[in-house]
């Protein structure tokens, strides 16, 4: 599932190429024909990400809310849009523009020079400004947003007996963390994932929040989740290789990069939690 950094990168892509442009909206697959008709001919005014959700503002007080979920993706085409993650179409310098929709495209947004194709989202709806504000109010703090308030997230964490591992995945507390950032954040802080939220001190929380902000900002910059320090990688210099990029996420049974203990994994709340029993005792 795309985590928060990916959604912010997608919003950046829209802000770079689509803002101020009138769009032709269509639903090549047909499932969003009515919604597309409501967007068609409007000017795209702004794109903003909040956690894993993206909100596109259109002229006439209309918003598009998109949650990619597990399988959703945006594909971009047109000049100057290379390199926005793996979901970007290859440069189409010689190909006809616009390209034919690939697969089941729920929504196509087309300008004179660029195209964005959305497929497989969990949520895709046209909403009013009021509904947009209500949707955002249900979301927790996103460290990538200027309006984030870590104290509000802390109040919720600290009021709960639930494990930190479960609380960190709750989008109404912190918006944008997925399974990988959850596991890596707890590892980097050497925190035992099952300890209850209420056991978290303000000092530890401040450090966690700061670390998360740095990790997410790096993710937005590079499009990759890299959480390991160079000294913990098999290759100490250069870009980390695949097996070296993270400490514990999706590494169940493999040796911990720090202590060589086999990384633990268990099902928790429908997702797999990864952690090192030797390193994470805090
Ligand atoms: Zn370890």
Q: What is the pLDDT of residues 235-272, one digit of tens each?
A: 888 889 988 999 999 999 999 999 999 999 999 999 99
Ligand 1 centroid – CA 185 distance (Å): 14
Cα–Cα nearest to 277, from 233, 269, 260, 198: 260
Residue 2 is among the residues annotated as catalytic for this protein: yes
Last residue of a domain, one of 89, 116, 137: 137
- The CATH number of whichever domain residue 203 belongs to comes to 1.10.8.50
What is the per-residue pLDDT for 83?
A: 46
Residue 3 is among the residues annotated as catalytic for this protein: yes
| 124 burial via Cβ count (<10 Å: 0-12, 13-18, 19+) | buried
33 falls within a domain: yes
Ligand 1 centroid – CA 51 distance (Å): 29
User: Of the listed 3, 48, 141, 184, which one is catalytic?
Assistant: 3
Residues 98 and 160 in one domain: no
Q: What is the pLDDT of residues 157-210, one digit of tens each?
A: 999 999 999 999 999 999 999 999 999 999 999 999 999 999 999 999 999 999
DSSP 120-139: S-SEEEEEEHHHHHHHHHTS
Ligand 1 centroid – CA 166 distance (Å): 21
In whole angstroms, what is the distance from residue 99 CA to residue 107 CA?
A: 14
Residue 182 is among the residues annotated as catalytic for this protein: no
Residue 260 is among the residues annotated as catalytic for this protein: no
User: Of the listed 9, 28, 42, 52, which one is catalytic?
Assistant: 52
Residues 129 and 162 in one domain: no
Residues 32 and 133 in one domain: yes
Residues 212 and 99 in one domain: no
Q: What is the pLDDT of residues 141-151, one digit of tens each?
A: 999 999 999 99
57 falls within a domain: yes
Residues 79 and 189 in one domain: no
Residues 71 and 173 in one domain: no
Q: Which residues pair with 50 in a beta bridge?
A: 53
What is the per-residue pLDDT for 95?
A: 67
* pLDDT band, residue 35 (cuts 50/70/90): very high
Query: What total of structural domains would you count in the chain?
Result: 2
pLDDT of 86 > 50? The answer is: no
Ligand 1 centroid – CA 9 distance (Å): 32
143 falls within a domain: no
In whole angstroms, what is the distance from residue 49 CA to residue 11 CA?
A: 6
Ligand 1 centroid – CA 19 distance (Å): 46
The range of the structural domain enclosing residue 105 comes to 4-137
Ligand 1 centroid – CA 256 distance (Å): 5
Long-range CB pairs of 27-32 (<8 Å, 24+ gap) are: 27/105, 27/106, 27/107, 27/108, 28/101, 28/105, 28/108, 28/117, 29/101, 29/104, 29/105, 29/106, 29/119, 31/104, 31/106, 32/106, 32/107, 32/124
Residues 18 and 126 in one domain: yes
In whole angstroms, what is the distance from residue 225 CA to residue 135 CA?
A: 27
In whole angstroms, what is the distance from residue 81 CA to residue 262 CA?
A: 41
Ligand 1 centroid – CA 203 distance (Å): 23
Ligand 1 centroid – CA 254 distance (Å): 10
Q: What is the pLDDT of residues 95-140, one digit of tens each?
A: 688 999 999 999 999 999 999 999 999 999 999 999 999 999 999 9
Residues 243 and 120 in one domain: no
Residues 214 and 102 in one domain: no
What is the per-residue pLDDT for 2?
A: 84
Last residue of a domain, one of 137, 165, 200: 137
93 falls within a domain: yes
User: Of the listed 2, 28, 121, 150, which one is catalytic?
Assistant: 2
What are the helix (H) ranges across 18-149?
Answer: 33-39, 129-137
Question: Residue range 226-239: average pLDDT?
Answer: 92
Last residue of a domain, one of 137, 166, 193: 137
Question: Residue range 273-279: average pLDDT?
Answer: 98
DSSP 68-117: -TTT-EEEEEETT-TTSSTTSPPP-SSS-SSPPPPS--SEEEE-SSEEEE
- The CATH number of whichever domain residue 49 belongs to comes to 3.20.190.10
What is the per-residue pLDDT for 161?
A: 97
What is the per-residue pLDDT for 256?
A: 98
What is the per-residue pLDDT for 96?
A: 80
User: Of the listed 22, 38, 156, 271, which one is catalytic?
Assistant: 271
């Amino acid at each position: 599932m795309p985590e928060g950094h990916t959604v912010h990168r997608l919003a950046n892509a829209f802000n770079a190429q689509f803002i101020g442009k009138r769009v032709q909206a269509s639903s090549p697959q047909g499932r969003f024909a009515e919604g597309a008709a409501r967007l068609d001919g409007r000017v795209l005014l702004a794109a903003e990400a909040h956690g894993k959700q993206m909100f596109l503002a259109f002229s006439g007080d209309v918003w598009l809310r998109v949650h990619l979920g597990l399988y959703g993706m945006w594909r971009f085409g047109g000049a100057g849009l290379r390199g926005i993650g793996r979901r970007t179409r290859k440069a189409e310098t010689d190909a006809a523009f616009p390209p034919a929709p690939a697969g089941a495209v729920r929504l196509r947004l087309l300008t004179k020079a660029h195209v964005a194709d959305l497929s497989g989202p969990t949520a895709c709806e046209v909403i009013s400004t009021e509904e947009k504000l209500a949707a955002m109010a249900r979301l927790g703090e996103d460290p990538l947003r200027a309006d984030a308030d870590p104290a509000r997230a802390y109040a919720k964490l600290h009021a709960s007996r639930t494990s930190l591992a479960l609380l960190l995945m709750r989008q109404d507390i912190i918006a944008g963390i997925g399974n990988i950032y959850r596991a890596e954040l707890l590892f980097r802080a050497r925190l035992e994932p099952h300890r209850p939220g209420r056991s978290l001190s303000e000092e530890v929380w401040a450090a966690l929040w700061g670390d998360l902000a740095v990790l997410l900002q790096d993710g937005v910059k590079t499009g990759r989740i890299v959480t390991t320090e160079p000294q913990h990688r098999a290759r100490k210099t250069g870009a980390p290789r695949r097996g070296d990029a993270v400490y514990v996420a999706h590494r169940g049974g493999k040796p911990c990069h720090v202590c060589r203990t086999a990384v633990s994994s268990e099902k928790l709340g429908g997702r797999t939690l990864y952690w090192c029993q030797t390193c994470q005792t805090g």
